[in-house]
Chains A and B, each alone.
Chain A
Amino acid sequence: MTTFQASYFDGRSSTARAVRVTIDDDALVWVRGAGLELRYALSDVRISPRVGRAPRSISLPQGAKCETSDNDAVDRAAARHRVGALPRLLHALESRLPWVVGALVATLLLGWATIEYGVPHLARYVAMAVPHEIDRQLGREALALLDDLMFEPSQLDAPVRARLAARFEELAAAANSEGATRLVFRASPEIGANALALPSGTVVMTDELVHLAAHEDELIAVLAHELGHVQGRHALRSILQNSTTVVLIAAATGDLTSLGSLSATLPTLLLETKYSREFELEADDYAATLLPRVGIPPDRLVAILQRLEAATSGGDDILLGYVSTHPAIKERVRRLTDRAN
């Protein structure tokens, strides 16, 4: 038999009456006090699930209710009469430290696994199914934007460009790449030496990169790497992965309103650059396989990467490496060299 203090509300007005509630061994609920003497069967009464230390409601027939803060007493009575086992279990999960820690660890693991494996897989699956027209559209728009913002017409001689374009065609043929590919040139003092692969199969190479290379083969090596980005549909996968992550994070934390705010963007920003790093490595592997087929040793790629690293000001700061949009060049060089040996 369990007794506890409660407030009785008849459901007709807001008046509170102080009562004593007793749940006896015959599964009868007694409400006594303030001029009340009521009796109900436990089965006619509904006990609300416990949430932390919030007051418990015992809903009585005819819309009346008793509210009590003595959650433990209610739980004892419920346990005794084998009522509400599931809610009790849920409360235990939420309130006992080992379970909370377990839930925390499980959530973090699940979250990490989803972001590390689940999302990229899903994005890859979807990206491969997307029609090429989307890629071409993305590529066109991206090039227009870049031309607007930071590209200038190339200053390279026409024969140089024609030769490189021809060798690129050779490369694409050797790669059996699906979809049309072409090589275009731009000058960009802001970006410097670089090559960008657009989803449409267009590869943009900057004059600065052409000047930086010591040998034409180094440029072809870079083009092979860029072809890897095109083949892997990395741009589209990147977009898909980033938006999925944002949606997942928002959905999991229940904070849909923060979809646009900074707290959602920053973690995904970090993740976004991690994805880019994996794509860079994937493209490197592709190039390392493709280059021997056109008779170019992969260490041409190593050479140009080292030249690029020397040209840009940054050293190899691991923390910075994570935040950067390109993986630390040293790591890529190391991988490619290991692979060659």
Chain B
Amino acid sequence: MQQRQTADRLEDAPATAATQRATDAAADAADDPSATPSAQAFSFTGRASEYFGVWIVNVLLSVLTLGIYSAWAKVRNERYFYGNTILAGHAFDYLASPVQILKGRLIAVAFLVLWSVAVEFFWWVDLMMLLFVLPLIMPWAMVRALTFAARYSSHRNVRFDFNGTMREAFVVYVLLGFGDLLTLGLLHPYTAYRRRRFHLEHSSYGGTPFSFSGTARSFYHVYVKAVILALPFLLIAVGLVHAAGLNLIMLLEHLSADELVGAARDGGRGVVSALLPLAVLFLVLSVLVPAIYVDTRLANYAWSETRLGPHRFTLGLDFGRILWLRFSNLVAIVMSIGLLIPWARVRMARYRIERLRLAVVGSLDGLIAAEQQRLAATGDELGEALGLDIGL
């Protein structure tokens, strides 16, 4: 069997990387007659009925223990989804310990409590937080969270890894974040691109790095199309508001659920009132639908430009289907007062996971684990890490 040391990072321009890959592939082909990429589909074996049991016990015990159990709940939850995601016959594994997660959460809570108390005594705390503390803490927290998530995930007992630097995290999350604000969002596609790239280019599976060949321009294309998609909804919303005799500014200023329900119910004003909640609905859709569009298209694009060594991913999510899934899930959740959340999650996970493919060149055997993993016999050297998990 061919053992390939793909420890060299593909940092160069796409052209060079392509040449490198071509050489690798050619070498593979020379050694192994079946080197044509075989498309391995991911599969999800989770079932709503089974997951419901896990979920409801998580909720009950978390409530009974006033939230302490939530760390265990998180681990069980992740292990359920990881363990039911199968690639080429083997599942993924989530290795974090609940105690780490609990520590991380308690620290986050303590921090928030301290902040709210400090604000009562010192008026300048909020300003300090915004200008100094948060811009410094955020890159640190992001890097720690990404590293934690990576190192405590494994497939075939080889852990993933993330080695992004805090300096680059600062640029990508803080500087570009401010840039977004200053340019009123025009920079955002670029920011999204840079963040994706930051995440992928510093990730690796054992000693095999991921690489990302996407371009900022493609991100812009998706966002522009999303804005165009928003227009019909906006026009309808504005039209409805005008028909109701108000103007959009008033509507936005005084938006509240009470007033919507009140407006809808006020029989005396009839048609005019019914238009207002409809207008709000279209306003909401004008944000939600493009957001889902961006999420779907970018996911497809980004995954399809991602490689693990020579192996290439493709993701084929259908926007229409995702839209349907999201809305039907929402309706189901609301109608069932939340009891159908497990069903909705399994349903969405199954669709998203089963549309992911990996074109494997040769085989997935023989990918070497990272140095730390090989050296740290029990893997507990990483155990000092705080279980910081921000919902990424």
Chain B nearest Cβ from A65, distance in angstroms: 4
In the bound complex, CA of A52 to CA of B346 (Å): 13
B263-275 interface code vs A (CB 8 A; 1 in, 0 out) = 0010110000000
Q: Are B45 and A53 in contact (CB under 8 A)?
A: yes
Tell me which residues from 12 to 49 in chain A have a Cβ below 8 Å from any Cβ of chain B: 12-16, 48-49
B33 at interface by CB-CB < 8 Å: no
Residue in contact with B53 in the complex, picked from A54, A94, A253, CB distance below 8 Å: A94
Q: Are B373 and A267 in contact (CB under 8 A)?
A: no
- Chain A residue numbers with a CB within 8 Å of B254 are 145, 149
Q: Are B265 and A320 in contact (CB under 8 A)?
A: yes
3 A-B pairs closest in CB distance:
A54-B83, A9-B157, A94-B53
Q: Are B83 and A63 in contact (CB under 8 A)?
A: no
> Chain A binding site: helix, strand, loop or mixed by DSSP?
helix
A52-87 interface code vs B (CB 8 A; 1 in, 0 out) = 111101000111110100000000000000000000
A313 at interface by CB-CB < 8 Å: yes
Residue in contact with A11 in the complex, picked from B62, B82, B284, B374, CB distance below 8 Å: B374
A55 to chain B: closest residue by CB: B91
Tell me which residues from 295 to 326 in chain A have a Cβ below 8 Å from any Cβ of chain B: 312-314, 320, 323-325
Q: Are A52 and B261 in contact (CB under 8 A)?
A: no
Residue in contact with A16 in the complex, picked from B46, B90, B93, CB distance below 8 Å: B90
Q: Are B366 and A14 in contact (CB under 8 A)?
A: yes
Q: Are A104 and B330 in contact (CB under 8 A)?
A: no
28 pairs, A vs B, C-beta closer than 8 Å: A9-B157, A12-B374, A13-B366, A14-B206, A14-B364, A14-B369, A16-B90, A49-B76, A51-B76, A52-B80, A53-B45, A55-B83, A55-B93, A63-B376, A63-B379, A93-B53, A95-B50, A104-B339, A106-B60, A107-B60, A251-B62, A254-B70, A262-B334, A269-B261, A272-B258, A313-B267, A314-B265, A325-B261
The size bracket of the interface on B is 35 or more
Q: Are B373 and A252 in contact (CB under 8 A)?
A: no
Q: Are A252 and B62 in contact (CB under 8 A)?
A: yes
Q: Are A14 and B334 in contact (CB under 8 A)?
A: no
- Chain B residue numbers with a CB within 8 Å of A99 are 53
A10 to chain B: closest residue by CB: B157
A residues at B contact (CB < 8 Å):
7, 9-16, 48-49, 51-55, 57, 61-65, 67, 90, 93-95, 99-100, 103-104, 106-107, 110-111, 114, 145, 149, 249, 251-257, 261-263, 265-267, 269, 272-273, 312-314, 320, 323-325
B228 at interface by CB-CB < 8 Å: no
In the bound complex, CA of A10 to CA of B64 (Å): 40
B257 to chain A: closest residue by CB: A269
In the bound complex, CA of A269 to CA of B259 (Å): 11
In the bound complex, CA of A195 to CA of B59 (Å): 43
Q: A255-B341, A312-B268 are in contact. List 16 more A-B contacts (CB 8 A).
A: A9-B156, A10-B157, A11-B374, A13-B158, A14-B205, A15-B366, A54-B91, A55-B83, A63-B376, A93-B53, A94-B53, A103-B56, A261-B330, A267-B338, A273-B261, A325-B258
In the bound complex, CA of A255 to CA of B3 (Å): 44
Q: Are B67 and A251 in contact (CB under 8 A)?
A: yes
- Chain A residue numbers with a CB within 8 Å of B195 are none
- Chain A residue numbers with a CB within 8 Å of B391 are 256-257
